[in-house]
Amino acid sequence: MARRRYQRGTLRKRGQRDPYWELQWREDYIKPDGTIGRRLVPWKIGDVAKLTRREARKLADEKLRALNQGQYAPQSTIVSADYVERYLVPNFFPTLKLSTQKRYRRTLNIHLIPAFGKARLCDIGTLEIQRFVLAKMESGLSWECADHYRNLLSKIFETAKKWGYHSGPNPAAGIELPEKTPVREKHILELEQIPQLLGVLEKTVRTMVYLALLTGLRIGEILALNWASVDFGIGQIRVVRGYYRGMMGSPKTKCSRRSVPLPEVLRPVLMRLREQTATPEELVFHTSKGTPYNDSNLLHRDLKPAGRKLGIPWLNWHSLRRTHATLFQFAGGSLRDAQAQLGHSKMSTTLEIYTLPMPEQQRVTVEKLSVLMANDGRKDQNPEGPPLASQQIQ
């Protein structure tokens, strides 16, 4: 390792009309190709009229203290747009799912590159990023969008540090967002609405919807399902891939690769479909050409019209998955089982995002509680029937 060079720098006067003290020193920097270069750096200390040479020298020594103590790390001169195109996209994007790559590319092109593309990575600070995400929220974009921008910027600086193009701390790590407030009300189907919905749907879509309600599979997982993944012998469906916006790939997350029980009520329906199949690799649900259905077309052609007809215009594929999560636990399934069934990485996702309270079940539970309280915890009191909680209070 080369010996660290102690520097005092060059202190000199600059300017004729309004002279000022300037300090010059040499420091290492990272070239765009990743190699280390050395450059002359100027720094204006202050006006000659306000500072003596001794005072200017004292400020100069303080400026060079970190450099002389070995606390300085070379900074890259590469601008953000160049780093993204030359290093991030070719070396990081291939590790992502194609759908994630597309989303990241849209975010970079529309939001991040216009805002930070011309700035050097070393010149982008936490304050600039904080102002950026808050401005995006003030323009009408959602909390989720701002959180996505923050996370992608953090990933840019994380990879840049790992690959030697950024030596400072990650400026996106300290970004704070306002408290998240729900924008849209979450809905689930009530039990009596499920047969009504199934009754107005065309056969193929009806089977897909019923499968989604009984298993909690994502629509992309249903569209990617082939017969090789349906095991009638042990009554199991294996989720090994997903179909999203015209691309067949792996499931959304590692935990999404899972096995779920095959609902017995759907067994005869699926077996009849299986009889029309030539090979195990054939899709369970496919167009007349053998290609996967488009989830957006199914939504607007079948699901939305059915929802409007039944007075549930909010109906979509995601509401089916949320309905399954809620009814799964209502039927006695544990939160851990629901997490595994839905393929979530975190139990908090299952509980906080997908599971909604059922008012009628809450009412039944409150009335049971009223009986326990009235009978000092004994359930065998009052054989004529439990009084309502409202009667107990009166």
Q: What is the pLDDT of residues 120-178, one digit of tens each?
A: 888 899 999 999 999 999 999 989 999 999 999 999 999 998 988 887 889 999 899 99
Mean pLDDT check: name the lowest of 77-81, 193-197, 348-352, 386-390: 386-390
Distance (Å, whole) CA 237 – CA 340:
13
- Structural domain that includes position 259: 193-354
Mean pLDDT of 340-367: 74
Q: Could you tell me the pLDDT band of residue 391, with boundaries at 50, 70 and 90? A: very low
Give the residue with greater pLDDT, 212 vs 331.
212
Tell whether the model's pLDDT for residue 379 goes beyond 60.
no
The predicted structure's pLDDT at residue 380: 57
Residue 79 domain-assigned? Answer: no
Same structural domain, 57 and 169: no
In a domain, 77, yes or no: no
**What is the model's pLDDT at position 77?**
75
Q: Which of 72, 103, 120 is the last residue of a domain?
A: 72
Crossing angle of helices 203-215 and 267-274, in 10° steps, is 130
Q: Does the pLDDT at position 51 exceed 80?
A: yes
Quick one: pLDDT at residue 193? 94
- Has residue 387 got a pLDDT over 50? no
- Greater confidence, 212 or 360? 212
What does the alpha-carbon distance between residue 5 and residue 3 come to, in Å, rounded to a whole number?
6
Residue 222's CATH number: 1.10.443.10
Which residue's structure tokens are 């974009």? 141
**Are both 166 and 199 inside the same structural domain?**
no
Question: Average pLDDT of the chain?
Answer: 86
Residues 340 and 239 in one domain: yes
Shared domain check, 350 and 206: yes
8 pLDDT higher than 80: yes
SS (H, E, C) the chain: CCCCCCCCCEEEEECCCCCEEEEEEEEEEECCCCCEEEEEEEEEEEECCCCCHHHHHHHHHHHCHHHHCCCCCCEECCEHHHHHHHHHHHHHHHHCCHHHHHHHHHHHHHHHHHHHCCCEHHHCCHHHHHHHHHHHHHCCCCHHHHHHHHHHHHHHHHHHHHCCCCCCCCHHHHCCCCCCCCCCCCCCCCCCHHHHHHHHCCHHHHHHHHHHHHHCCCHHHHHCCEHHHEECCCCEEEECCEEECCEEECCCCHHHCEEEECCHHHHHHHHHHHCCCCCCCCECCCCCCCCCCCHHHHHHHHHHHHHHHCCCCCCCHHHHHHHHHHHHHHCCCCHHHHHHHHCCCCHHHHHHHHCCCCHHHHHHHHHHHHHHHHCCCCCCCCCCCCCCHHHHHC
pLDDT at 45: 92
Cα–Cα distance list, 160 to 67, 87, 91, 98, 157 (Å): 22, 9, 11, 22, 5
Q: What is the pTM of this model?
A: 0.64
pLDDT of residue 361: 67
Same domain, 68 and 98: no
Q: Are 337 and 370 in the same domain?
A: no
In a domain, 30, yes or no: yes
In a domain, 86, yes or no: no
Q: What is the pLDDT of residue 285?
A: 94
- Whether the CB-CB separation of 203 and 321 falls below 8 Å is answered with no
The proportion of the chain whose per-residue pLDDT surpasses 70, expressed as a percent, equals 87
Q: How confident is the model at residue 38 (pLDDT cuts 50, 70, 90)?
A: confident
- In this model, does residue 384 exceed pLDDT 70? no
Measuring CA to CA, how many Å separate 363 from each of 131, 351, 358, 382, 389?
46, 20, 9, 20, 10
Structure tokens at 149: 């921008």
Assign 216 a pLDDT band (cuts: 50, 70, 90).
very high
Q: Is residue 5 part of a domain?
A: no
Overall domain count for the chain: 4
Greater confidence (179 vs 4) lies with 179
- pLDDT(362) > 70: no
Please indicate, yes or no, if residue 35 is contained in any of the structural domains.
yes
Q: Tell me whether residue 1 is in a domain.
A: no
What's the confidence (pLDDT) of residue 97? 85
pLDDT confidence band for 386 (50 / 70 / 90): very low
Q: Which of 60-69, 263-272, 356-365 has the lowest mean pLDDT?
A: 356-365
Q: Is the pLDDT of residue 35 over 70?
A: yes
CA distances from 89 to 79, 85, 334 (A): 15, 6, 42
Residues 166 and 262 reside in one and the same domain: no
Q: Which of 68-72, 77-81, 300-304, 371-375 has the highest mean pLDDT?
A: 300-304
- Confidence label for 233 from pLDDT (cuts 50, 70 and 90): very high
Is residue 245 assigned to a domain?
A: yes
Q: Residues 137, 58: one domain?
A: no
